Structure 1
Amino acid sequence: MSSNEEQTFTRLVNEQRAQNNPASTNTVSEAEWHTKLSGKKIVDGQAHSVDTFSKQDLPEKHRVIPPGTLVTMDHHPDRLNVHVDEQGNATHVTFG
């Protein structure tokens, strides 16, 4: 699956989740964050291009998760999890 196909698939899954669970406030936010971050490189400092996104602009409760990283299983519904590829580009987001 190409990167564009994967991004389209993830967007469609997020939209379907939002339709199936309208009571969930995070599902809509998940789709919005996915749209904002998808394919962009997450950087520590200021974002200086349309291809980057600054960690400073993420919600206070967030974590950036590179491939193969072990994460705790504690669930925080308001914590944004930004999953990135080997280059640091956002691939998808979840809350929890």
Structure 2
Amino acid sequence: MIENDQLIFNKSYFDESYFTMPVDGSKIILCNRKISTYINALAKAGFVVEEMIEQNDKQTMESVNDNSDKTKKAKMIPISVCFKARKL
């Protein structure tokens, strides 16, 4: 949640429980995962992580006219995380 141009967390990073979110008049079920959850799943499946990238698109980062909460949040934390992994 954005409040006074600050990102306020109302849920623990460690809480991986499912939650619903309204999208286009419907609801979707989501869950947040810790980075260690992804890394450990890859390791257990026999992968080695070669690289991890946390990035937002250039247009969002350079935006000056978009004051939406989504854009403000994207300028503070990565929207996505990508892993490059190789099967051992």
TM superposition score category, shorter chain reference: under 0.3
TM-score, reference length from structure 2: 0.25
TM-score, reference length from structure 1: 0.24
Higher relative contact order (CA 8 A, sep 6+): 2
- Max Rg structure: 2
Where is the strand percentage greater, Structure 1 or Structure 2?
A: 2
